[in-house]
Amino acid sequence: MQKKLLLIIGSGLSGLSAGTYAQKAGYNSIVFDKHFHPGGCVSFWKRKDFLIDGGIFMLMGCKPELRSYQVFKDLGVGDSNLYIPMKEFGTFIDEMTGEKFTIGSDLNTLEKNLKKIAPEDTAIIEEIVRVIKDIKGKDTASIGMSLPPELNKGINKLKMLWEARPMIKHMNKRYLQSMEKFTENVKSESLKSLLNGIFGPKAPTLFVLKLVAIMASGHMSFIKNGCQTFISKITDNYKSLGGEIRCKQRVTKILVDDNKALGVQLANGTTVKGDYVVSASDSENTIYNLLEGKYTSPDIEYIHKQWKPEESYMLATYGINQDLNNEHTINMLNLKQPINYGDKQITSFLFRIMNYGDFAPKGKSVIQARFNINWDYWNKLDKDKESYLKEKKRFANEVLERLNSHYPGIKEKVEMTDVSTPCTIQRFTLNKYGSASGWGTTPECLAKKRNRTLPGLKNFYMAGQWAFAGGVLPTIYSGKHVIDLINHNY
């Protein structure tokens, strides 16, 4: 019997995952991507002798003893030599108090350090450390991900609740509110900035505390040599299973007949027919452009009108002629003097010293700063190339000045500077507002089920950060979910 063919739009993690599971389940598959190499948000590029890692800072759940390790194995990246366990979440450098400490796995030390910067907030510090300690050591990275929500019924639902039991006790109003709200009564600005900087102010408090617990459990890693190695292994594995990737092929239309998806049309005018179409790309573009808005529902309309994409990242990367390999990898800088842009301010930012792979020639280093930054600001500037480039340059210089005060002399040793903005991410991935992880991580967005099929449309599925949740682990699972749903005739 002829194998059925899946046409997958997007070669990000979710598209490659859907393709991998399709091949394993006995289907044929073709992945289309508009870009010239696969990976989507898991991006990388070269400038001079330096490798710029444009994605994944830290990876959850890729430890052999965890439930989620199986999906890494399935995708061809279940090799522990690929990962470097994070011993610390990062170093907090507080220009306000002059304190500098590392957030590591020892939670008593963390409590002591937090009390040093915020003695007036002792009660809340003890409370959050208590919750983190409670979650620490449990397998929480992939809770609720093993099956598509649509199949979470009966015995499967019980299994999911069993997975979720380390968290259930804390799923109450207090910890489900955003970090911004939770910290409203925190007195110390330094503590407020630290807690809101871990995953942004809109994320539910429990989600942020869970991240710290995952790190403290040793369940978070760096990828040795970064995104390039990770995505090329996943791609090779997919191809070795018989999968096909067609780059530089933008899908402009999903072909439908009798309310059944049966193919895709490409920008060059050709069409490709298949048995199923899977969109592993931006959901707004998929639903309202590729499908011309013919298959929606009040729920889908609500999401696309009311929800905001996760604020995107701006990355400023520097190649420096100095060996910084012995410095801490991830750092959060709480600024005394904010960096101004438009009528807004950046009061803190994360930066990483890329000392876990071959990112720079021997004796040199790469430092990369990351900001959450507003799409509108860059989008407006992007209309005028000269102003856009000028502002990129201003940012690069200003950030370098700030870094230089902590690593004196580096600004004289810069050999390469690269700045990417949300517009860059949007151009390369077509994600709305250049979002780095789909819809914003808000309490509502985490709680609400999103459909992976569209009302009235057969043989069509969605995967990826817009259809399930952002981040490496959820997007990989979302590709697997598509095959679970097809196999269940959902």
Ligand X SMILES: Cc1cc2nc3c(=O)[nH]c(=O)nc-3n(C[C@H](O)[C@H](O)[C@H](O)COP(=O)(O)OP(=O)(O)OC[C@H]3O[C@@H](n4cnc5c(N)ncnc54)[C@H](O)[C@@H]3O)c2cc1C
> In angstroms, what is the minimal distance from the CB of 63 to ligand X?
15
Distance CA 118, CA 38 (A): 45
Q: Which is nearer to ligand X, 175 or 313 (CB)?
A: 313
Give yes or no for a contact between 329 and 355, defined as CB atoms under 8 angstroms apart.
Answer: yes
> In angstroms, what is the minimal distance from the CB of 123 to ligand X?
32
> In angstroms, what is the minimal distance from the CB of 370 to ligand X?
7
In the numeric block, the tokens 């808005």 are attached to: 293
Q: Which is nearer to ligand X, 12 or 197 (CB)?
A: 12
> In angstroms, what is the minimal distance from the CB of 353 to ligand X?
15
Q: Which is nearer to ligand X, 191 or 425 (CB)?
A: 425
Distance CA 478, CA 404 (A): 41
Q: Which is nearer to ligand X, 103 or 472 (CB)?
A: 472
Q: Which is nearer to ligand X, 10 or 443 (CB)?
A: 10
> In angstroms, what is the minimal distance from the CB of 342 to ligand X?
21
What order of strands is seen across the sheet that includes strand 460-462? 244-246, 28-32, 5-9, 276-279, 460-462
Please report, as ranges, the residues that interact with ligand X according to CB under 6 A: 9-15, 32-35, 40-42, 54-58, 250-251, 280-282, 313, 425, 429-431, 436-437, 464-465, 470-472, 475
Give yes or no for a contact between 10 and 281, defined as CB atoms under 8 angstroms apart.
Answer: yes
Q: How big is the CA angle at 462 (ends 151 and 239), to the nearest 5 degrees?
A: 105
Q: Which is nearer to ligand X, 191 or 467 (CB)?
A: 467
> In angstroms, what is the minimal distance from the CB of 50 to ligand X?
17
Q: Which is nearer to ligand X, 129 or 439 (CB)?
A: 439
> In angstroms, what is the minimal distance from the CB of 146 to ligand X?
17
